[in-house]
Amino acid sequence: MLEIFHQGEREIQNKVGESLIADRNKPLISNSIVRGAIHFIDKQPMAIVGSRNKENELWASLLIGNFGFVKVSDPGTIVFDTEQITSNPSDIFFSNIAQNHQIGSLFIELDSRKRYRVNGTCQINNSLIELSVEQAYPNCPKYIQRRIISTPDHFKKVPSSIVEGSGLTDQIIQWITNADTFFVASADSDGNLDASHRGGNTNFIEITPDGLLKIPDYPGNSLFNTLGNILANPNVGLLFIDFERKQTLQLTGSASLLFGQNTETDLLKTKGTCRYWLFHTSRWIHTIDNHQVEWEFLEYSPFNS
């Protein structure tokens, strides 16, 4: 791989004065999965995936399956076995990848706060989704709330039902503002997808009077993959998980960046970065009975404070 970062990422890194830090972290990014991450991915019962539909909307989705539903067949290939997936079989992810083969994926273990991102293109072979790795790299444990997922021998499949809409209802606003975790799908100007995690204490996401989600951008690894993608391509998808009620909320829309917000309140809310991003929802999907697994909340991330 020649240039790791695309123009949007580089522009953000330079704007905030963190390009040298990004270059120091650049060796973490590879076009294959490092040996130490193979077992980590193989043992995961969940994955976050980002995809695009024919309308160019981005969507972030939750996949849950029996152990072994995701497998690293070789350092350059990850295989998802859809017959072992027990979450909503009608998730928009499956119809999206039939039309657009680019995928962003995130394997995250909330209990250990470990996470590993893998992006690339896929091909569908009967019940198997084979992801060819183009970028793979670990992320730091910051802002991940610890939760333990139940681990029976086999997860139960349940019939899911969905509700779709466009405007933010009172129920959705309450869900978003009460959330301490969400996931984001973004893409660069060439459509290369990425899936990432965002977390904080409840109420870290603000809903503005005109219905935008105002999301603080906390200090991170200086790569600025998500913000760089937003600069290059405003289409974004968000995923919220109701860990208690086994439901998911997927939003698709557009995002913009907000820098230089340096009031005392902004300094506290952004942990000193003075950065936010704003998200406008164009459409949402609420999935009831998305899955049948349980999570036990343990603690908030110490980095939230």
The whole-number pLDDT of residue 301 equals: 97
The percent of residues in the chain predicted with pLDDT above 90, rounded, is 93
Categorize the per-residue pLDDT at 158 as very low, low, confident or very high, splitting at 50, 70 and 90.
confident
Q: Give the confidence band of 60 by pLDDT, cuts at 50, 70, 90.
A: very high
Please spell the DSSP secondary structure of the chain, one letter per residue.
----S-HHHHHHHHHTT-HHHHHHHGGG-BSS--HHHHHHHHT-SEEEEEEE-TT--EEEEEEEBSTTSEEEEETTEEEEEGGGB-S-TT-HHHHHHHH--EEEEEEEETTTTEEEEEEEEEEEETTEEEEEEEEEEEE--TTPPEEEE---SSPPP---EEEEESSPPHHHHHHHHH-SEEEEEEE-TT--EEEEEEE-STT-SEE-TTS-EEEE-----S--HHHHHHHH--EEEEEEEETTTTEEEEEEEEEEEE----SHHHHHHTTT---EEEEEEEEEEEEET-----EEEEE--GGG-
| Average pLDDT of span 243-264 | 97
Average pLDDT over residues 18-46: 95
Mean pLDDT of 180-189: 98
Per-residue model confidence as pLDDT tens digits over 260-303: 999 999 999 999 999 999 999 999 999 999 998 899 999 999 99
Buried b (16+ CB within 10 A) or exposed e, 9-23: bbbbbeebebbeebe
Is the pLDDT assigned to residue 4 strictly greater than 80?
yes
Q: What is the model's pLDDT at position 2?
A: 56
| pLDDT beyond 60 at 1 | no
Q: What is the mean pLDDT of the chain?
A: 95
pLDDT tens across 204-231, in order?
Answer: 999 999 999 999 999 999 999 999 999 9
Q: Residue 152 has what pLDDT?
A: 67
Is the pLDDT at 3 greater than 90? The verdict is: no
- Going by the DSSP 8-state scheme, the letter that residue 76 receives in this structure is T
- Region of 232 (left: φ > 0; alpha: ψ -120 to 50; beta: rest) is alpha
* Sheet with 70-74, edge to edge strand ranges: 58-64, 46-52, 102-109, 114-125, 128-139, 77-81, 70-74
pLDDT value for 275 = 98
SS3 197: strand
Using only C-alpha atoms, the chain has a radius of gyration, in whole angstroms, of: 18
Q: Kindly state the percentage of the chain with pLDDT values over 70.
A: 98
CA distance 37 to 20: 26
- State the pLDDT at residue 229: 98
Q: Which has the closest alpha carbon to 290: 52, 62, 53, 60?
A: 62
Residue 16 has pLDDT above 70, yes or no: yes
Mean pLDDT of all residues in 63-77: 95
Q: Report, as an integer, the average pLDDT of 113-130.
A: 97
Q: What is the mean pLDDT of residues 230-239?
A: 98
